[in-house]
Amino acid sequence: DIVITQSPLSLPVTPGEPASISCRSSQSLLHADGYTYLDWYMQKPGQSPQLLIFMASNRASGVPDRFSGSGSGTDFTLKISRVEAEDVGVYYCMQALQTPLTFGGGTKVEIK
């Protein structure tokens, strides 16, 4: 199984400041079709998860452009250019290259 490791575990942020979450996989997530199957999800308190970024760098429909995803192979980053209060929650990266799909342990973003 592909192991996904996220860091940090907790991320206190100041509104208006940038934030960054790292995600590392135990093997390359580049498929033979040329796409990289790494997705980012956010779960706000008391809510279901929601898709933020798919295939490493594509923002999902309705996601604000302050969210961006980057990376390739085994190393990926989710960046929030300017954190807003509504961004608090737990962020997960997940590999969709092969089954079983596997999630990182999550990063809890909270306001300082």
Partner 1 sequence: EVQLLESGGGLVQPGGSLRLSCAASGFTFSSYGMSWVRQAPGKGLEWVSGIRGSDGSTYYADSVKGRFTISRDNSKNTLYLQMNSLRVEDMAVYYCAKGTVGATPMDVWGKGTTVTVSS
Query: Strand locations in the chain, DSSP E?
Result: 4-7, 10-13, 19-25, 38-43, 50-54, 58-59, 67-72, 75-80, 89-95, 102-103, 107-111
Side by side, which strands form the sheet with 67-72?
A: 4-7, 19-25, 75-80, 67-72
Report the residue number, 33 or 65, with the smaller CB distance to partner 1.
33
| 76 contributes a contact to partner 1 by CB under 8 A | no
| 37 contributes a contact to partner 1 by CB under 8 A | yes
Report the residue number, 37 or 67, with the smaller CB distance to partner 1.
37
| In the complex, minimum distance from the CB of residue 43 to partner 1, in angstroms, rounded to a whole number | 8
Interface contacts to partner 1, rule CB under 8 A: 1, 31, 33, 35, 37, 39, 41, 43, 48-51, 54-55, 60-61, 90, 92, 94, 96-106
